[in-house]
Each structure stands twice: as C-alpha cells, then as structure tokens.
Amino acid sequence: MIFNLEKSINQHICLPTEFGVELYIKREDRIHPHISGNKYRKLKYNLIEAETLGFNILLTFGGAYSNHIAAVASVGATFGFKTIGIIRGEELKSKVKDNPTLKFAQSCGMQFKFVSRSDYREKTSEEFIKNLKEEFGAFYHIPEGGTNALAIKGCEEILTEADKSFNYVCCAVGTGGTISGIINSSKQNQKVLGFPALKGEFLTKDISKFVTHKNWELTADYHFGGFAKINSVLITFINQFKNTYHVPLDPVYTGKMVYGIFDMIYKSKFPKGSKILAIHTGGLQGIEGMNMRLKEKNLPLIY
C-alpha cells in the first residue's frame, strides 16, 4: 500500500513585534483534502496493520459531524477498504441527506448503523463488538476518534527534526491521542501545551498512560463550554483570523486552540522571545455542518 502523503509546512503568522514572540502554524490540514491532519496520522499505521492482518473491512464509531468518520470513509474509498460507521443517534437515520459529514461518508461507500445514545455508550464492550462481528463479519476495529497505540505512533511523526527550535508546541485535544504522539516525539527543552476542546477532567490521566515525557500541560480555559459549543466571539475570531492570515480554522478544535494561544500571548503568558508552533490538526470538513446549526440559531456564519 502506498500511504505516504506530503509533509506539511510551517506557516509564519506575522504578529506585532511588541508581543515579543514568534508564532508558526504547522499546516497538517493540507495533508489531504478529506483525510485531514491528525486523522491521517492516526490512521496510517492502523491501515498498514489491517492490511497485514488481511482485513478488508474497517469498522469505527462516531457522532453526526465526526472528522474521524469522514476520514475513515475517505480512506476506504481511496485505499480499497469497505467501511462501516456506527453512528451515535438513531434519529439521524432519516437525516443523512441533510448532514454534510454523513452525506460525504456515504458517497465514499461507508455503510452506517445508527444506534441509540445508550447503546453507543457500550461501544468498547466485548459483547457489543461481538454482536457487530456477527452482523458484519470480520472487521478491523478502529475505536471512536481513532485513538490507540498505532495512532499515537503515527502522531509521533508530526514533529520533525527541523521543529526542535520551537520552545512551545500547541495542539488541540479531543481524546488525547494526537498530543500523546507529539509529547513522545518532543525534545526535553520543549513544552507541549494542550487545548482540550471539551470539559475533560479525565484527559490528564488518559494522556499520562500514553506518554514517556513530563514536559506537557493542558489548559482548561478555552473549551467554550464543551464539545462543539461555540459562540459569536469564537466565530468572529475564526473569520478574522482567516481574513488576516489566510488560514482557515475549524470551530471544534483548531479555532479554540488558536483563540487560546492569542489570548495567552495578549496576557503575556509566554516568556519574551518564545518560538511557538501550533499544530493545525485539520477538521475543516466540520465547518459546513456547524454553519447549518449556526443558521438555525441565527448566529453569524463561518466563511
């Protein structure tokens, strides 16, 4: 299998000199139009493993607007796997055509099984997986969000030797898989800062299980009330950032992280002379679905 997409570039974000820090964004969002950013990194070694073990079906889990579901569906279409998505929310069954993420996944050939929220909570139980095997046959199981040991191995390839001159590496956090890989491949003199996209008190413990270094910290100040929660301050920030720097940000992860980095820069939380690298983990496919929800709530849209 040829699975070697291009390396991403670090884009300089030109800040007023009085801030006294330098900011770069690693454009992992540009790796692939649909298998974006960290989802590519997390899937890479899992696909190699699936192929080695002779599986031709990938089965995974996700919510209605999941970047991971979109990425797995696209991987299936690109590399010749059959894909099955177990989707949270039975009510979505009749609404696939109104949901840009699910519509895209379906166009890639993904087959869905919609389950209730209470059934969905069983997604890691042996019994649940066993029943799915009876229903769909032998499949390679990728957990929700794609986080497992092979995913973390893939995320260890995000930082390169050339990135060792950065003092801070910043990353959005969902399950913590991506930041774990970044932490493992960071240098002793670097600090890795995580920006959880949700209220996740459990995350520090989860990440500790995966990492070999102690040079990291999570900041709980920029989740905007919880997963996929958003307000007009964040929307305005995302739009202004794109206008000024020509870098699109997604509303669920990278928008919150970059908002947080700017807030910390304004508040002089980084020592003068710091070189900061922010990882753009992708997720731009989620903008369309978010805009549909913003429209219903009469909030400004992301453009």
Ligand X SMILES: *Cc1c(COP(=O)(O)O)cnc(C)c1O
Q: Considering only CA atoms, give the Rg of the chain.
A: 19
Segment interacting with ligand X (CB under 6 A) among 57-65, 185-193, 258-266, 281-289: 281-289
Min CB(134)–ligand X separation in Å? 29
**Length of the chain as a residue count:** 303
Segment interacting with ligand X (CB under 6 A) among 116-124, 166-174, 259-267, 288-296: 166-174
| Residue 67 in contact with ligand X, rule: CB under 6 A | yes
- With CB under 6 A as the contact rule, the residue among 81, 222, 253, 259 that binds ligand X is 253
| Residue 114 in contact with ligand X, rule: CB under 6 A | no
Are the beta carbons of 7 and 160 closer than 8 angstroms?
Answer: yes
- CA atoms of 289 and 156, how far apart (whole Å): 30
Segment interacting with ligand X (CB under 6 A) among 31-39, 55-63, 82-90, 97-105: 31-39
| Residue 147 in contact with ligand X, rule: CB under 6 A | yes
| Residue 175 in contact with ligand X, rule: CB under 6 A | yes
Q: Which is nearer to ligand X, 29 or 163 (CB)?
A: 29
H or E element in which residue 113 lies: strand 111-115
| Residue 216 in contact with ligand X, rule: CB under 6 A | no
- CA atoms of 51 and 68, how far apart (whole Å): 19
- With CB under 6 A as the contact rule, the residue among 63, 251, 282, 289 that binds ligand X is 282
| Residue 248 in contact with ligand X, rule: CB under 6 A | no
| Residue 186 in contact with ligand X, rule: CB under 6 A | no
Q: Between β-strands 22-27 and 10-13, what pairing exists: parallel, antiparallel or unpaired?
A: antiparallel
- CA atoms of 291 and 251, how far apart (whole Å): 10
Q: Which two three-digit tokens encode residue 271? A: 């020592």
- With CB under 6 A as the contact rule, the residue among 76, 251, 260, 283 that binds ligand X is 283
Contacts of residue 176, Cβ cutoff 8 Å, sequence gap at least 6? 147, 194, 200, 203, 206, 207, 210
Instruction: Tell me how far apart the terminal alpha carbons of the chain are, to the nearest angstrom.
Output: 37
Residue ranges that bind ligand X, judged by CB under 6 A = 37-39, 67-68, 145, 147, 172-179, 250, 253-254, 281-283
